[in-house]
Amino acid sequence: MSAFEEEMEIVKRKPNTIWMTSLADLLALLLAFFVMVFAMSEIKRDTWDDVLDKLGYKLNVQTEETETGLTADKNVELFSEQKAFDLDYLENILSSKLASSSELKDVEIFKSADRLIISFIGDTYFDVGGDNVATELVDATRLLGESLRYVKNRIEIYGHSDPVPMTSTDPDALTNWGLSLARALSVSDILKKSGYSFPIRVYGMADSRFFELQDVQNDEEKYILARRVDIVIREAKGQGR
C-alpha cells in the first residue's frame, strides 16, 4: 500500500465532526432571532408582577422615578427623631426650681441650640482629683430628678475634668478620663434612682473641652469650671428599653 493510500485510510477512520459547525451556526441564528423577538415585545405588567411574586420579590413602582442632584434634605427625614417636651418650657420650669432651692444655688442652666444644659460645677460638688459623691451633689441631683422623672426627653451626661494630670503612684488610680466618667456615672445613678425611666447616655470627656474656657481670665475660676458634670437634655424623645 502506498503512502497516499495509508493517509486516506487514517482519514476514513477519524470521526466526521463537520456537522457540528453547521449546528453551532444554526443555534447562533436561533438565539439572535429570539433576542430580536424579545426586544420587540412589550412585557405585560400584571404577568411580570406575578412572576416576581412567585420568585419572592415585589416590584417597587416608586423606584422607577429617579432624581439627580443633592437629596440630603429628604434623606434626613428617614432618620429624624421624635421630639418630646419643648426645651424653652423645660428651661422655665427648671430655672424656677433652681432659684427656689438652696441646694441648687451652684447649679447653672442654659440653652444651647437644640439642647438644654444643666451644669454641676466645681468644688461645691467635686473635690480636686476625687470622685467621691458629695452630699451636696446627691441632694441637688435628687431635687432635679424629682422634675426630670416626668421628662420624656433624651438625657445625656458628660463628665469633665481640669487638665492637671493625676499624680498618684497607685496603678489602680483613676486617670482624668476615668475621673470624669466616674463623676458622670454618679449623677446618672442618682437620676435613675429618682425615677427617670429612659436609658441615659454617659460620657467621660476628661479635659477635652477645656479650650472652651479660654475666655475666662481668672485661672482659678477656669479650673473650677473645668471640674463639672453636664446634664444635657435633648429635644429628641428618650428611647425605651
pLDDT at residue 56 greater than cutoff 60: no
Confidence of residue 122 (pLDDT cuts 50, 70, 90): confident
- Among the listed ranges 25-29, 132-136, 187-191, 202-206, which one has the minimum average pLDDT value? 132-136
Q: Which domains are seen in the chain, by residue range?
A: 3-66 (no CATH), 87-237 (3.30.1330.60)
With beta carbons less than 8 A apart as the criterion, state whether 181 and 202 touch. Answer: yes
CA distance 234 to 11: 91
pLDDT at residue 41 greater than cutoff 70: no
Q: What whole-number percentage of the chain has pLDDT above 90?
A: 15
Average pLDDT on 149-161 reads 91
Of 129, 95, 153, the closest CA to residue 207 belongs to 129
Of 135, 124, 127, 238, the closest CA to residue 192 belongs to 238
The pLDDT, as a whole number, for residue 165 is 83
